[in-house]
């Protein structure tokens, strides 16, 4: 881990600290960066499966064959 000096919006940091009950600016920035990475990874996953489609009958519904017997 390295040390970095940055200019950031104190109001935004305070909102993050209060909303997520974080004790320090460092923890707020760390949490926000980690959350941003996770969210973008999730969006990439969603984009990768978008358009896979439905091979069933038009207007049909998925049924769990194990439970429909």
pLDDT at 16: 96
Q: Distance between CA atoms of 45 and 35, rounded to whole angstroms?
A: 15
pTM: 0.59
14 pLDDT exceeds 80? yes
Which pLDDT tens digit goes with each residue over 30-49? 999 999 999 888 888 877 77
Q: According to DSSP H, which parts of the chain are helical?
A: 10-19, 25-49
Least Cα distance to 25 among 14, 33, 36, 39 occurs for 14
| Ramachandran assignment for 51, one of left (phi > 0), alpha (psi -120 to 50 degrees), beta (any other) | left
Please state the domain extents for the chain. 10-45
């Amino acid at each position: 881990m390295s040390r970095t000096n940055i200019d950031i919006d104190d109001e935004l940091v305070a909102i993050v600290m209060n909303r997520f009950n974080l004790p320090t600016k460092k923890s707020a920035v760390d949490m926000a960066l980690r959350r941003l990475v996770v969210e973008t990874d999730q969006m990439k996953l969603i984009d990768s499966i978008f358009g896979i489609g439905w091979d069933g009958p038009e207007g049909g519904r998925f049924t769990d064959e194990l439970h429909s017997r």
